Amino acid sequence: MKSKAKDAGPDDLGAMRTFVKVVEAGSFSAVAREAHLSTSTVARKVSQIEESLGVVLLHRSTHKISLTEAGSLYLERATTLIADFDDTMRVVAELDAQPSGPLKLTAPVAFGRRYLAPLVAPFLAHYPTIQLDVRLTDNHNDLVAGGFDLDIHEGENYLDNLIVQKLSRNDSVLCAAPAYLERRGRPLHPDDLKAHNCLRYVHPEGDPRWHLVSGKDRHSLLPTGNLVSDHSELLLEASCAGLGIADFEIWLVRDYLATGRLEVVLPQYRLENTLTGRHIYLAYLANRRGSTKLRVLRDFIAEQLQHIGSFSDEELRKMRGDDF
């Protein structure tokens, strides 16, 4: 069966843009006013697409327009094609140019405060023509809906249809203040945690249990104590104050462990956390793959923050002692 569609013409992209704008505005006249054209000129551009395809894209009435089934399909494909075309033009234009223009980045709150905040000034000093927009939230952001160029993301959730680059492993440990452990004793086995005040992080999509693994030795328990919170930094302050034992990602407690404010509990065990996952990722949309300004931001972050979520072998030996 021969297709009714004609070969694409040179002005098809312009007509396609007009069609998308008409659907978004809900009328031909609104688009005509914005473009300083007559309503008939705008309507003719859409009619030319319909004639070329041999299908009706819009139901027209005196007061409103609505999409046909074919129109809905065309709108979806047209939006993608326009975005890809604009991105291609932007990437080619940036090849020999100083990276410039807006970049929108999102990251978890605690991570952003501790690791991104110190990087903002040196990055913009090196790339002064980039305008950086940083949004910190612990709720997942839709990159398309939010207009984000880059997402720093813990765990493997929400990574479908995104290009990802591993920034670091994302290991977790149990921690407590030395004063607490001296007062209550140091657990030697996961079962010993039942006799301790355990501070628990809660998240709607998280598993409330602690899963501890050492080789083939696996333990799962529901920690109990007198503090539960959905804010990791609140639990961190409580732990430093000697309230109890809590689980943290390594990137959050590295400095506290180095200065001795916190101590790793059960260092021979590894914590498995399905919410935070095994890695920290830099995630972005496929159509941003070739953006020069995005590439320099990714490279800068990766260079500065690689390995922040894991301990080196030497650090592990010091924590575990020579016997491990």
Residue 62 sits in a domain of what CATH number? 1.10.10.10
Does 159 share its domain with 287? Answer: yes
Instruction: Give 108-139 pLDDT, tens digit per residue.
Output: 999 999 999 999 999 999 999 999 999 998 87
Q: Are residues 125 and 210 in the same domain?
A: no
162 with 290, same domain? yes
Query: Same domain for 143 and 228?
Result: no
Domain residues for the domain of 214 are 172-276
Q: What is the dihedral of CA 133, 137, 141, 146, to 10 degrees?
A: -30
For residue range 170-179, what is the model confidence (pLDDT) as tens digits?
999 999 999 9
Residue 197 lies in a domain: yes
Angle CA 312–313–316, to nearest 5: 90
Establish if 3 belongs to a structural domain: no
Nearest C-alpha neighbor of 176 from the set 203, 206, 196: 196
Predicted TM-score (pTM) of this structure: 0.66
Residues 132, 179: one domain? Answer: no
d(CA 20, CA 318): 61
Distance between first and last Cα of the chain = 72
Nearest to 141 by CA among 95, 109, 186: 109
Are 132 and 216 contained in the same domain?
no
HSE value, Cβ hemisphere, 13 Å, CA-based, for 120 = 15
**Sign of the dihedral through C-alpha 298, 301, 303, 309:** negative
Question: So what's the pLDDT on residue 1?
Answer: 40
Give yes or no: residues 285 and 159 share one domain.
yes
88 is a domain residue: yes
Q: 287 and 163, same structural domain?
A: yes
Asked if residue 109 is part of any domain, the answer here is yes
User: Alpha-carbon distance 151 to 164, whole Å?
Assistant: 9
pLDDT at 22: 92
Residue 210's nearest CA partner among 154, 199, 163, 117 is: 199
Quick check: is 114 in a domain? yes
Report residue 317's pLDDT band, with 50, 70 and 90 as the boundaries: low
DSSP state of 194: G
| End position of a domain, from candidates 94, 112, 131 | 94
- Asked whether residue 253 falls in the same domain as residue 203, the answer is yes
Query: Would residue 7 count as lying in a domain?
Result: no
Count of domains forming the chain: 3
Is residue 179 located within the same domain as residue 258? yes
* Between 124 and 320, residue with greater pLDDT: 124
